[in-house]
């Protein structure tokens, strides 16, 4: 082989090594950084396309019934320079109360201040893209810790960001699902704990991630993580105090948001509108939700892409589309590679993982729901719980896949086949994205008239409400200060040693 033909081959081999193998010598190479930048831009554009680039009025389903009125209320409050305490209308607060903070899933993140600068559809686009960015950073943190190649990271990127679960919930107006994007951070903290890390800095970081979940309206996600940590305590008994501490401190840190709903517990329990839905009918239905692409349609519509047709209602609550390649990947590199060894990695997670899957099926969650703990009692659509164990499986599957790549070092043709498989997998996910984008939901669901007077600020004398808000704020600030002091103290002690 002459020198001229050898140079392109060497470049190809170097590119291949950079993409498929986490060689420390190639870390931060131009090819790798370019690949990651392209991935981020693809995700940015796909989420923008999914949201129709804020070109819709969002006057349908839960966008209209719940989140747009709440966001208008916050916007009115910010523009008026008054606290968002009481809403003029109760409908978007499920008719329970006019106390805004008495609902545990209202959004109170710092970026809501942007409502003073942008209209609501633009703010929604910014907020979703911001959470996508947070999720991307979490995935990068996970990638760095477990030395994932650019190719392995790409699989995780598309699995996590564009599965049916997150797309379908956003599609029908579940704006508080931004908390989903914090899962990579949550599990990386858990993996670090299982690898031996503990202490106040670990607890503080984890607690603030869970606090942000609450601020983002992700009370359900927060509840599922607490249950998972409780289950994990059983299998990390000697170090369980740190897990218990994380649950307790994150709860107290969130007191400003979790205490006010206690005022309306009786009304929540008597509410008839929010019926108990339960979980997946069976484990087979979980698998079907990952394999079958579909939408909720009252009558057959000619415009539906690819002539996909399902008669069942509320499919967004039971959708976790991954496509056949995604499902096979999770089964082989997630379940099989995780469980085949006598001593699996992170074996402490196996039983909690299986229990969380079980809780998302049928009525298995009912003993926990009726335990008397308010957070647990708020769960009614149990199929949603499946998101936690499935994301865990995604992370474990990609770890195992990278180990397999490192051990087997597939050749050029095998690499070509892997790239082709990734392309087919992404194509499946993209087709699912197209049928769930907001412009499709706007056609399927009937428009709901929005009454702007419902979202007016109507603050009034309410001493009990103000008292509990004040107590919650004091607890939140005191806990934050305490955690920072303990973290700084711990860091100084380590530096002295």
- pLDDT band at residue 354 under the 50/70/90 scheme: very high
Report how far residue 109's alpha carbon sits from residue 169's, in angstroms, rounded to the nearest whole number: 19
Name, in order, each residue with C-beta under 8 angstroms of 315's C-beta and a sequence gap of 6 or more.
Answer: 168, 294, 295, 296
Report yes or no: 102 and 465 within 8 Å, Cβ to Cβ: yes
Higher pLDDT, 16 or 244: 244
Verdict on whether the full-model pTM lies above 0.85: yes
Phi/psi at 55 (nearest 5 deg)?
A: -95, 0
Quick one: pLDDT at residue 109? 97
Report yes or no: 369 and 278 within 8 Å, Cβ to Cβ: no
pLDDT in tens, 84-97: 999 999 999 988 99
pLDDT of residue 271 exceeding 80: no
Report how far residue 351's alpha carbon sits from residue 228's, in angstroms, rounded to the nearest whole number: 10
Which has the closest alpha carbon to 121: 454, 432, 433, 442?
Answer: 442
Higher pLDDT, 15 or 275: 275
pLDDT of residue 424 exceeding 80: yes
**What mean pLDDT is reported for the chain?**
90
Give the number of other Cβ atoms within 10 Å of residue 140's Cβ: 16
Query: In Å, what is the CA distance from 287 to each residue of 243, 321, 328, 390, 470?
Result: 31, 9, 11, 11, 47
pLDDT of residue 159 exceeding 80: yes
pLDDT in tens, 254-264: 999 999 999 98
- pLDDT band at residue 266 under the 50/70/90 scheme: confident
Report how far residue 381's alpha carbon sits from residue 364's, in angstroms, rounded to the nearest whole number: 12
Half-sphere exposure of 467 (CA within 13 A, CB side): 5
Q: In the chain, what's the furthest Cα-to-Cα distance? A: 87
pLDDT of residue 432 exceeding 90: yes
Name, in order, each residue with C-beta under 8 angstroms of 353's C-beta and a sequence gap of 6 or more.
Answer: 389, 392, 393
Q: Which of 38-42, 143-147, 202-206, 412-416 has the lowest mean pLDDT?
A: 412-416
Q: How much of the chain, in percent, has pLDDT values that exceed 70?
A: 91
And the tokens for 197? Answer: 């890390």
pLDDT of residue 305 exceeding 50: no
Quick one: pLDDT at residue 274? 67
Quick one: pLDDT at residue 312? 53
pLDDT in tens, 101-117: 999 999 999 999 999 99
pLDDT of residue 485 exceeding 90: yes
- pLDDT band at residue 298 under the 50/70/90 scheme: low
Which has the closest alpha carbon to 380: 463, 489, 470, 279?
Answer: 279
- pLDDT band at residue 491 under the 50/70/90 scheme: confident
Report how far residue 138's alpha carbon sits from residue 117's, in angstroms, rounded to the nearest whole number: 28
Q: Which of 187-191, 379-383, 423-427, 458-462 has the lowest mean pLDDT?
A: 379-383
The whole-number average pLDDT for the span 392-396 is 98
Alpha helix (H) residue ranges in 294-450: 323-329, 337-339, 350-359, 366-369, 374-377, 387-408, 412-436, 438-444
Q: How much of the chain, in percent, has pLDDT values that exceed 90?
A: 73
DSSP type of residue 92: G
Report how far residue 157's alpha carbon sits from residue 154's, in angstroms, rounded to the nearest whole number: 5
pLDDT in tens, 184-235: 999 999 999 999 999 999 999 999 999 999 999 999 999 999 999 999 999 9
Give the residues across from 86 on adjacent strands. 99
The whole-number average pLDDT for the span 78-83 is 96
Report how far residue 414's alpha carbon sits from residue 410's, in angstroms, rounded to the nearest whole number: 6
Give the containing element (helix H, strand E) for 128: helix 120-146
pLDDT in tens, 21-61: 876 555 557 878 899 999 999 999 999 999 999 888 899 99
Quick one: pLDDT at residue 306? 37
Which has the closest alpha carbon to 275: 322, 309, 317?
Answer: 317
DSSP type of residue 446: P
Quick one: pLDDT at residue 302? 47
CA dihedral 133, 386, 207, 476 (to 10 degrees): 100
Distance of CA 162 to the CA centre of its chain: 11
- pLDDT band at residue 308 under the 50/70/90 scheme: very low
The whole-number average pLDDT for the span 55-68 is 93
């Amino acid at each position: 082989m002459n020198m001229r033909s050898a140079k392109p081959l060497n470049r190809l081999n170097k590119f291949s090594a950079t993409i498929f193998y986490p060689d420390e010598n190639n870390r931060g190479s131009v090819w790798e950084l370019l690949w990651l930048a392209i991935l981020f831009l693809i995700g940015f554009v796909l989420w923008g396309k999914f949201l129709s680039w804020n070109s819709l009025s969002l006057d349908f389903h839960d966008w209209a019934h719940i989140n747009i009125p709440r966001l208008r209320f916050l916007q009115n409050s910010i523009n008026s320079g008054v606290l968002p305490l009481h809403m003029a209308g109760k409908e978007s607060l499920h008719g329970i109360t006019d106390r805004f903070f008495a609902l545990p899933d209202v959004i109170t993140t710092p970026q809501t201040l942007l409502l003073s600068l942008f209209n609501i559809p633009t703010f929604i686009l910014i907020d979703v893209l911001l959470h996508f960015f947070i999720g991307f950073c979490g995935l990068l943190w996970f990638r760095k810790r477990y030395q994932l190649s650019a190719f392995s990271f790409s699989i995780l990127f598309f699995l996590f960001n564009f599965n049916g679960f997150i797309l379908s919930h956003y599609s029908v107006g579940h704006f508080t699902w931004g908390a989903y994007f914090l899962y990579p951070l949550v599990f990386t903290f858990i993996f670090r704990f299982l690898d031996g890390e503990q202490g106040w800095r670990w607890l503080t970081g984890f607690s603030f991630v869970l606090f942000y979940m609450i601020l983002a309206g992700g009370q359900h996600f927060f509840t599922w993580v607490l249950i998972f940590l409780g289950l994990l305590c059983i299998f990390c008994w000697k170090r369980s105090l740190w897990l218990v501490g994380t649950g307790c401190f994150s709860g107290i840190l969130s007191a400003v948001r979790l205490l006010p709903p206690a005022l309306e517990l009786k009304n929540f329990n008597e509410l008839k509108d929010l019926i108990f839905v339960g979980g997946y009918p069976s484990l087979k239905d979980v698998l079907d939700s990952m394999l079958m692409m579909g939408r909720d349609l009252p009558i057959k519509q000619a415009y539906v892409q690819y002539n996909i047709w399902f008669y069942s209602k509320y499919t967004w609550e039971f959708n976790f589309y991954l496509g056949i390649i995604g499902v096979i990947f999770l089964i082989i590199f997630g379940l099989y590679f995780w469980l085949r060894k006598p001593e699996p990695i992170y074996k402490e997670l196996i039983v909690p993982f299986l229990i969380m899957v079980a809780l998302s099926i049928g009525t298995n969650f009912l003993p926990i729901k009726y335990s008397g703990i308010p957070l647990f009692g708020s769960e009614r659509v149990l199929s949603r719980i499946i998101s936690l164990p499935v994301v865990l499986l995604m992370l474990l599957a990609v770890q195992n896949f990278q180990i397999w790549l490192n051990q087997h070092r597939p050749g050029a043709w095998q690499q070509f086949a892997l790239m082709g498989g990734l392309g087919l997998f992404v194509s499946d996910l993209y087709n699912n994205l197209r049928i769930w984008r907001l412009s499709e939901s706007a056609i399927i669901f009937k428009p709901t008239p929005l009454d702007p007077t419902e979202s007016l600020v109507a603050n009034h004398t309410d001493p009990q409400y103000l008292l509990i808000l004040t107590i919650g704020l004091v607890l939140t600030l005191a806990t934050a200060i305490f955690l920072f002091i303990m973290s700084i103290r711990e860091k100084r002690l380590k530096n002295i040693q």
